[in-house]
Structure 1
Amino acid sequence: MRVEVARNAGFCFGVTKAVQTAYGHTGESHVHTLGPLIHNEEVIKDLKDKGIDIVEEDKIEELTDKDTVIIRSHGVAKSVYDRLEKTGAKVLDSTCPFVLKIHRIVREASAAGKVVLIIGNEGHAEVEGIKGWCSGEYHVIGSIEAAEAFEYAESDKEICVVSQTTFNYKTFKSIVEILGRKLYNIVVSNTICNATEVRQNEAKELAACCDAMIVVGGRSSSNTQKLYEICAGECSDTYFIQSAKDIDSDTLERLKKVEHIGITAGASTPKNIIQEVFDICQI
């Protein structure tokens, strides 16, 4: 049996930066992450054990100048920065540079009177942050069906299109094609992170040549969910797990009967968790 791990599985640049920032402040007092740092329960628990807890946005006003707050890679709305500044808390900004680029694009587009279309998942932390940098009209489109249903009557308005960095690239292209047929004055910025695109393409190629595919990552992770959907489309025997603990004895017995197992992981999955999954598949 051959077990193959995708070359780009696991932490992306933005997540690595955020995690390193957090672990660099363990042992200090009053250190918090603004929301869960990443979509990985084991990392969140480990940080909590080391003294770094979570503060939610609705509790910002309870912070003081004795607190340190880490902004996660997803980024936040401008109003959140303003609220944090009023508390006097020290802010460590770990927003991914690619997300900051989107904030700049939509901020400038809004200031110029353009309508912003955000291709992404409504309610996702990154999308909520992007919305918070739009000072004018904006819309969120999360599916091909939503793009087909979208209508905009003001043909003279220039429309700026951006994407959630972890959005499915194939779906993004389909949505842009649909919008291009419906809207005249449209400017598209492909803001999907290159690492996301590489990871998705790599997962698709690996799944296509494997007998079984394992996708590792948090259940609430948008990019991991998209990896699972891509892999399941290529390999009928695809599993979505959070760690090696999720591989029960029945699943392990099934995996032992195949010749080629592929493993990929979302951007919030640490290398040690990927290694544990690899090791159990080798038994």
Structure 2
Amino acid sequence: MLVHFTKMHGLGNDFMVIDLISQRGRLRDADIRRLSHRNFGIGFDQLLVVEPPRDPDMDFRYRIYNADGSEVENCGNGARCFARFVLDQRLTTKREIRVETAGGPLTLVVADDGRVRVDMGAPRFAPETLPFAAESDLPVHTLDVAGETLEIGVVSMGNPHAVLVVDSVEYAPVLELGPLIEVHPRFPKRVNAGFMEVVTPHEVRLRVFERGVGETLACGTGACAAVANGIRRGMLASPVNVTLPGGTLSIEWGGEGHPVFMTGPAETVFEGRIIL
């Protein structure tokens, strides 16, 4: 089976994108793991799949698979690449695109300069929405990891996030604590771990250890979760520029009950065909 694909990235968070509207294909977990390998495959953080919508009010169905083959609910950097992809591949002429995801509907708006603004929906803080084992909804929870008690904020952006405030992202133990937080038993579906350094109320630095992937150059939902938790804790004020290793995103949030808006670039790297 010969499949056409596009390699894209959003601030270095990289993707293989496949259109399953104009072509047919089926990818098993083992196929995804093989293709994601950076030495023996194409290499990517996530695989993005474009499918026809099940909901007639939506334009597309947007599916996301991690490098380990697991399907996840949402990916903000991927959403921007998704919007550019369906326009570039002439699957739509719309500049405002509605997509269904496992984490809920998203609205993607492509500007004339190619940047994409995504309505990521309202953040959810109730522990059961992640899920996270806790008795009540608090801005800060404690989490025992490797003999250390950490203070975290928990946020669902359609996918689960734990946010830690650190003095410096450069020296934060992302690779040591990230894998332990990801699989902590209080997060039964695992979690993305964000390490946030507050520079000013309108500027933060962020590193994210993503479940099923490891540390990535950027994480759009992680940036949204970090800003929402920071505003909730009185540390930040909208809008906030979030600088990740791969670049900067602009995040806006109007507070409880309001959606988070994320704006940033999406780039095509190359196109190709592969036999599956």
TM-score, length-scaled by structure 2: 0.27
More strand, by proportion: 2
More helix, by proportion: 1
The structure number with the bigger radius of gyration is: 1
TM-score, length-scaled by structure 1: 0.27
